Amino acid sequence: MPTLLEALEEKYGMEPDEKEEHVEEEVLVSIFVPKLPPRQSTPQLLILNDCNIDRAGEPEDLKKKCRIVKELDLAQNKLNNWNEVFVILSHMPRVEFVNLSLNHLTGPIQKPPVTKMDHLRNLVLNNTKLEWCSVEKLLRLLPALEELHLSLNEYTHVLIDTIEATQKANSVNGGEGSEPNASSNNNTNSGESATSQTKEDATQSSCSCSSSSSATLSASEQNAGVEEPPPLQTEPHGGVRKLHLTGNYISEWGEICRIGRVFPQLEALVLADCPLRSLKPTDPQGNESEEESHKYFQNLKLLNLSNAKIDSWEDIDRLAEFPALCNVRLQYWPLWARTDSTTEHERRQLLIARLPNISILNGGDTIGAVEREDAERSFIRHYLDKPDAERPRRYYELIGVHGQLDPLVNIDLRPERKVKVRFTFEDNSIERTVDVNRTVSDLKSRLERIFEVPAARMRLYYVDQDFRDLQGLEEMKYPHKVLYSYNIRSGDEIIIERKVKS
């Protein structure tokens, strides 16, 4: 399998030095030639996905070629050793974006580099099966990280938490596991220089990343009741603003609260295709906690919960309590199947009325003042006939804003579908009910059975009861024309004539 350097040279041709010598030998006319022709220079956006790359290559050559790279896409290669990844990144001092998706990077980070990567802001690790111990180490190595993608990694739990939260959980559980970390926590509070080393040793001992102590439980293990490992202790990372966890198996909001503690400045959280059952935090025994759902998400502006397993309007009310939340996606919930008696427009109105701070719902346009007022008034009328026990708190809040409203009068402006028309053939006249959504051809077929005149030999003339003397008869000559296009009303007449053979 090729190294990154070999894949780079194969895509961009010969080395720059060889090209320069070739130009000097062949040039006969003195013209300006760029030092590095476009096809020979490495771009700032370097895309080498699906190239079977499994290692870095010659360090000096790699450093020479990749010193200007700012964005690196190595998705779907054969990288499985973090040391090779760090070698690659150490020779790209300007890199800000790295995509390592679909590389098998489950192994531990045994010896991370001493220097931190201060420019890396966006890291994509989708479908790498990365374990939480490696996530914790990466967070300490990437102080400037702003966006992190951990989708499709089969996580059932979030096994990473802040030191203070872990200590609190241990004390609640009777102090189990708290003793080994006491010295580390004392050092943290006192600011002694041994803090980082103690935490490093604790992390190494508590996270071997072996298959026996995996950071992620498989679905079968979870169903079998296998107890989750304790979360790793780490310091909060104040830089991460966006986190993607799409397609993982996390089902409890208490696990997501750990994310909020580790990333206190989080502004966007994508949890699409995660089987979350509720937004109410639960304790380790599965009982509902008194903790507020939004407690650790004070800066969250965007939340994607599409395809969650939520089936309660109370969880919608919990979303309204997030102080900064203004953009949500709440599509394909079981709750919507239960409220299928409402149209999609009515459902949108119910959501807008319940979520006063939301300005963008399910990726649509910004909710304007007129749409919000219409939604809130519709919400009040929706609960007018409901008993008090079924009315949410938001109903009474909106009554205070808009007052007590009267039900809307149901006025149907649609034309009559069925009308009573008089049919006259020679001296015979009868009244029949006609569906105005039928065509002239359909009407002739029906009249054929009544008057025994073949439809092909039949002529129809429409007579408007109000304009009989002004406009006379109007022949209905077009077989596929729909009857309502003649503005037929009850009391009108249709005259039938038999065509004369020529």
How far is Cα 256 from Cα 64, in angstroms, rounded to an integer?
43
Token digits of residue 201: 């040793």
How far is Cα 281 from Cα 333, in angstroms, rounded to an integer?
19
User: Using an 8 Å Cβ cutoff, are 68 and 93 in contact?
Assistant: no
Instruction: Quote the crossing angle between the two packed helices 393-402 and 344-354, to the nearest 10°.
Output: 80
Amino acid letter, 438: R
pLDDT higher than 90, residue 222: no
The whole-number average pLDDT for the span 11-21 is 52
Amino acid letter, 225: G
Which residues 6+ apart lie within 8 Å of 392 measured at CB?
313, 317, 354, 383
How far is Cα 264 from Cα 238, in angstroms, rounded to an integer?
6
pLDDT higher than 60, residue 472: yes
pLDDT value at position 249? 97
The whole-number average pLDDT for the span 201-211 is 45
Determine the 3-state secondary structure of 147 from DSSP.
strand
Amino acid letter, 22: H
Strand partners, 418: 435
Query: pLDDT per residue over 345-394, tens digit each?
Result: 999 999 999 999 999 999 989 999 999 999 999 999 999 989 999 999 99
How far is Cα 359 from Cα 467, in angstroms, rounded to an integer?
54
Please indicate whether residue 203 or residue 419 has the higher confidence score (pLDDT).
419
pTM, full prediction: 0.72
pLDDT value at position 190? 40
Burial of 262 (0-12, 13-18, 19+ CB in 10 A): buried
Instruction: Give the pLDDT band of residue 470 (cuts 50, 70, 90).
Output: confident
User: Using an 8 Å Cβ cutoff, are 209 and 235 in contact?
Assistant: no
Please indicate whether residue 38 or residue 165 has the higher confidence score (pLDDT).
165
How far is Cα 164 from Cα 161, in angstroms, rounded to an integer?
8
pLDDT value at position 9? 84
Q: Vertex 287, ends 283 and 291: CA angle to 5°? A: 55
What b/e sequence results for 309-333 when a residue is b if at least 16 CB atoms lie within 10 Å of its CB, and e otherwise?
ebebbebbbbbeebeebbbbbbeeb
Give Cα separations from 60 to 3, 66, 86 (angstroms).
14, 10, 15
Give the mean pLDDT of the chain.
Answer: 83
Query: pLDDT per residue over 112-146, tens digit each?
Result: 665 678 899 999 999 999 999 999 999 999 999 99
pLDDT value at position 49? 94
Most confident of 28-42, 82-96, 240-254: 240-254
Token digits of residue 214: 């995996």
pLDDT higher than 50, residue 243: yes
Q: Which domains does the chain have, with CATH numbers?
A: 418-498 (3.10.20.90)
The whole-number average pLDDT for the span 460-471 is 85
Cα 492 from chain centroid? 57
pLDDT value at position 166? 72
Give Cα separations from 263 to 130, 150, 239, 241, 313 (angstroms).
18, 14, 8, 8, 28
Amino acid letter, 454: P
User: Using an 8 Å Cβ cutoff, are 432 and 443 in contact?
Assistant: no
Q: Vertex 12, ends 90 and 80: CA angle to 5°? A: 45
Which residue, 148, 150, 134, 122, is CA-closest to 274? 150
The share of the chain scoring above pLDDT 70, in percent, equals 79
Q: Vertex 320, ends 315 and 325: CA angle to 5°? A: 115
CB atoms within 10 A of CB 34: 9
pLDDT higher than 80, residue 414: no
pLDDT higher than 60, residue 199: no
User: Using an 8 Å Cβ cutoff, are 425 and 454 in contact?
Assistant: no
How far is Cα 232 from Cα 210, in angstroms, rounded to an integer?
15
pLDDT value at position 28? 54
pLDDT higher than 60, residue 220: no
